[in-house]
Amino acid sequence: MTELLQNFIGGRWVAGQGTGTSLFDPITGNELVRVSSAGLDLISGFSFARKEAGQLLRAMTYAQRAKLLEEVGTVLQANRDAYYEIATANSGTVKSDSAVDIDGALYTVATFAKLGKTLGERRHLVDGDSVSLAKDAKFLSQHLQVPTKGLALFINAFNFPAWGLWEKAAPALLSGVPVVVKPATSTAWLTQRMVKDVVDAGVLPVGALSVVCGSSAGLLDALEEFDVLSFTGSADTAATIRRHPAIAQRSVRINIEADSINSALLMPNCAIDSPSFESLVKEVAREMTVKSGQKCTAIRRIFVPQELFDSAGQAISARLSKITVGNPRNETVRMGSLVSRDQLATVKEGLAMLKSDSEVLYNGEAQPLVDVDPAVASCMAPTLLGVRDGDAGGKVHDHEVFGPVATLIPFRNLEHAQQLVRRGGGSLVVSLYGSDETALAATAVDLAECHGRVHVVTPEVSAIHSGHGNVMPQSLHGGPGRAGGGEELGGLRALNFYHRRAAVQGAQGVVDSVRS
């Protein structure tokens, strides 16, 4: 029988009860490891994190905690090769896709370590200037932010087992808040291994970083009023979480990242031979294929002027036809698999739904797979759909297929394009392609209200921009409406979620002491 991965909770390693749930190689179907959270004492485990690890973390300054993050980064870097092996085996990703997750995680940890140093030897944050509450200015109000004395629970998605942990854990630990992560079961191995390496290295206070692998049963029941919860996953699960007594009655602070039907928009007056047209085509093909389209920020809808619909479809299809799909261990393969056969079935079901009111512009199902058994592997080549009437094609605006699928949609003018983009109901990111910086800026502002991030690509930055779907720790990650209404990252803004804001009212001496 394969190894049963242990959980780290309450300051110790403990195996869940029973045989557990098996994790598989999505290429070969081989069983890799097993996970179980059955029988864990979550109540006492969470209490240990709050009282023991939390107290030790809060006793440190921001600069000291930044140093801890530096040490975490050193540990992760030393084990980087092992993480790549696990990603290939458990997620079926090619090396460049594994890098998006693993190296993205390392970069995020390093970024918050650097940012934390700028906060210096403080233990709380001053929020704005003091203001007088009396005519003689002897009685004032000063806002400040202090780390919450609870813990941070992360319930994460399957697509980023490395980055998904550290984009949340880095700002939490920098804030002085202990972390419990519950990774998605299907790809939990990489998360568990990273936690194990950091715990075994002893660079953090015991209990500052915990991991629970397996079922999420009981996790929310163990939350208390000053804990925080961050969830990444489906809108349906998010709705269930919002109704839980921890949130509905105990007012546990929650951040949700859910479904997102992201867009790419080619501005009017861009010719077929323009750099902006080429940039759009290149980015769409990349976003459809990186991590097999399993990114919350991937492009799902592509908007182009109606006169360029056919040309754009042909150009994107030409790029997709060059993508070799199959076994990531084969050096000729550029795109690996979905994470599981279940996910493959879900994506195919969603694709069939979208096909019911669209046409197929590039048929990935006809593309041969490399070095795999199609009956066993979870591989799927990219498929480009087209809807010639964006006003009539409702499904593409309402349903996200979480895989290598995108839909091309024409628009009549910029106002029409913006109306169609907004039908996504709120998204994580929209990217704009064009050369008129004034028009691009105005469009970015107009679309900012329904997106967490607006990514603008002009010819000047076409070779250096960070990418439509790449989430940089310096910029906001999250989105309104359908996308969950949450906010993560954004540099030091990320610390807000783990702090409590309060106003201290008093004499000048009191306020001066608070500010020092």
Active site residues: 257, 296
Contact between 61 and 122 under an 8 Å Cβ cutoff? The reply is yes
Give the pair of three-digit tokens for residue 348. Answer: 């195919």
Which helix (H) or strand (E) is 179 found in, with range? strand 179-182
Rounded CA separation 461/463 (Å) = 5
3-state secondary structure of 300: strand
3-state secondary structure of 135: coil
Strand-strand pairing, 152-155 and 228-232:
parallel
Residue 484: closest CA among 257, 154, 171: 257
Rounded CA separation 200/512 (Å) = 42
Contact between 302 and 312 under an 8 Å Cβ cutoff? The reply is yes
Which conformational region is residue 11 in: left (phi greater than 0), alpha (psi within -120 to 50 degrees), or beta? left
Give the pair of three-digit tokens for residue 58. Answer: 């809060």
Rounded CA separation 475/455 (Å) = 11
Rounded CA separation 272/129 (Å) = 53
| Burial environment of residue 428 by CB neighbours within 10 A (0 to 12, 13 to 18, 19 or more) | buried
Q: Give me the count of residues in the chain.
A: 516
